[in-house]
Amino acid sequence: MPAVTPDPEPEPRSSWARRAAAFEDSIHRTRERRGRKRGLVPIVLPYSGYGGPGFVRVLCRVLLVKPGFDLRKPARAIRGWRSFTSIAIGGAEVVVRVDGQEFTVYADRGGVVDVDVAVELEPGLRTIELQVEDTPAVKAPVYVVQPDARVGLLSDIDDTVMVTALPRPFLAAWNTFVLNEHARQAVPGMAVLYERIVRENPSCPVVYLSTGAWNVAPTLDRFLSRHLYPDGTLLLTDWGPTHDRLFRSGRDHKRESLERLAREFPTIRWILVGDDGQHDADLYRDFSAAHPENVRAVAIRELSPGEAVLAGGRRQVDDAERSVTTAPWVSAPDGAGLALELGLAGVIAPEDTPRLD
Domain boundary among 123, 144, 165: 144
Please check whether residues 184 and 63 belong to one and the same domain.
Answer: no
Per-residue pLDDT tens over the stretch 86-99: 788 989 999 999 99
Residue 81 binned pLDDT confidence (cut-offs 50, 70, 90) = very low
167 and 127 inside one domain: no
Please state, rounded to an integer, the average pLDDT across all residues of the chain. Answer: 81
Residue 308 binned pLDDT confidence (cut-offs 50, 70, 90): low
pLDDT at position 280 over 50: yes
Say if CB 277 and CB 316 are below 8 A apart.
Answer: no
The answer to whether position 321 is within a domain reads yes
Q: Are 340 and 218 contained in the same domain?
A: yes
pLDDT at 41: 87
Query: Is 130 found in the same domain as 178?
Result: no
pLDDT digits (tens, 9 = 90+) for 148-196: 999 999 999 988 998 865 554 554 555 555 456 566 789 999 999 999 9
Residue 257: φ, ψ to 5°: -65, -40
Pairwise CA distance, residues 338 & 323, whole Å = 19
Q: Which of 29, 206, 211, 221 is nearest to 109 (CA)?
A: 29
Q: Which domain covers residue 32, as residue numbers?
A: 13-144
Shared domain check, 267 and 133: no
Q: Are 335 and 190 in contact (CB under 8 A)?
A: yes
**353 domain-assigned:** no
Instruction: Count up the domains in the chain and report the number.
Output: 2
Between 238 and 29, residue with greater pLDDT: 238
User: Is residue 256 assigned to a domain?
Assistant: yes
351 within a domain of the structure (yes/no): no
Final residue of a domain: which of 99, 126, 144?
144
pLDDT exceeds 70 at position 310: no
* CA-based nearest residue to 176, from 187, 189, 162: 162
Report yes or no on 140 lying in a domain. yes
Q: Show which of 90, 119, 144 is a domain's final residue.
A: 144
